[in-house]
Amino acid sequence: AQSVTQPDIHITVSEGASLELRCNYSYGATPYLFWYVQSPGQGLQLLLKYFSGDTLVQGIKGFEAEFKRSQSSFNLRKPSVHWSDAAEYFCAVGDRGGTGGFKTIFGAGTRLFVKA
Amino acid sequence: ETGVTQSPTHLIKTRGQQVTLRCSSQSGHNTVSWYQQALGQGPQFIFQYYREEENGRGNFPPRFSGLQFPNYSSELNVNALELDDSALYLCASSLGERLNTEAFFGQGTRLTVV
């Protein structure tokens, strides 16, 4: 079955430091991969997505992610974290189920804390 | 702001009751998906509607049902509420039901079942 694993429940980084959030997926075919961010009490905002092509994907707010097929990973990175980046981050994979329907499978999320 | 609006924002219901949650999709979007997000968890796919027909369903019992209207707005209905139904319910709209279509999420409805 398709799945997404985010190994880190929470991460704390200092403001200005670099960030890497890990994501591993299990998917039989070429995956459609996403990273979303969720601020407290808010909905989800798409940071970036990978469908094909260049394996290094640029997103909004200075985020990027790299697709590595050999490692089944899609890690999210940012060179310099700002206090406003503190939020919950979700990795997700798009899946077309047996009925032909479409769904997105989310990981459990990684909570990012930023310290001054 | 995405243009996807959900109502109500918060709701408290008693076990056994029924609830209807509403979602207005972004202008021009013909596909709506619903997700349940329990506290501390990632969103779980409930179902998707494309042009007024169900287009995929996750592992949720039949007491979770939905509708999509001609204007592409949508409802999520849950019958016989259980305590475990307490969660944030998210609606997402998109143009088309293909995997490479970006979905825009609403702010969610926080449902508490007591």
pLDDT tens digits, one per residue of A6-34: 999 999 999 999 999 999 999 877 788 99
Q: Who has greater pLDDT, B94 or A18?
A: A18
Averaged over A38-52, what is the pLDDT? 89
Whether residue B2 is predicted with pLDDT greater than 90 in this model: the reply is no
Q: Residue A52 — pLDDT band, cuts 50, 70, 90?
A: confident
pLDDT for position B1: 57
A100 or A14, higher pLDDT = A14
Residue B95: the pLDDT is 85
Question: Mean pLDDT over residues A71-92, rounded?
Answer: 96
| pLDDT value for A98 | 56
Percent share of chain B, pLDDT over 90: 73
Asked if B58 and A46 come within 8 Å (Cβ–Cβ), the reply is no
C-alpha span between A22 and A12 (Å, rounded): 14
Q: So what's the pLDDT on residue B100? A: 66
Average pLDDT of the residues of chain B = 92
For residue A45, list chain B residues with Cβ-Cβ distance below 8 A. Answer: 2, 105
On chain A, the residues whose CB falls within 8 A of the CB of B47 are 101
Tell whether A111 lies on the interface with B, counting CB pairs under 8 A: no
Residue A112 CB coordination number (10 Å) = 21
| Beta strands, E only, chain A | 3-5, 10-14, 19-21, 24-26, 32-38, 44-50, 56-58, 64-68, 73-78, 87-96, 102-106, 110-115
Shortest Cα distance from B17 to chain A (angstroms)? Answer: 25
User: Which chain B residues have a beta carbon less than 8 Å from that of A4?
Assistant: 42
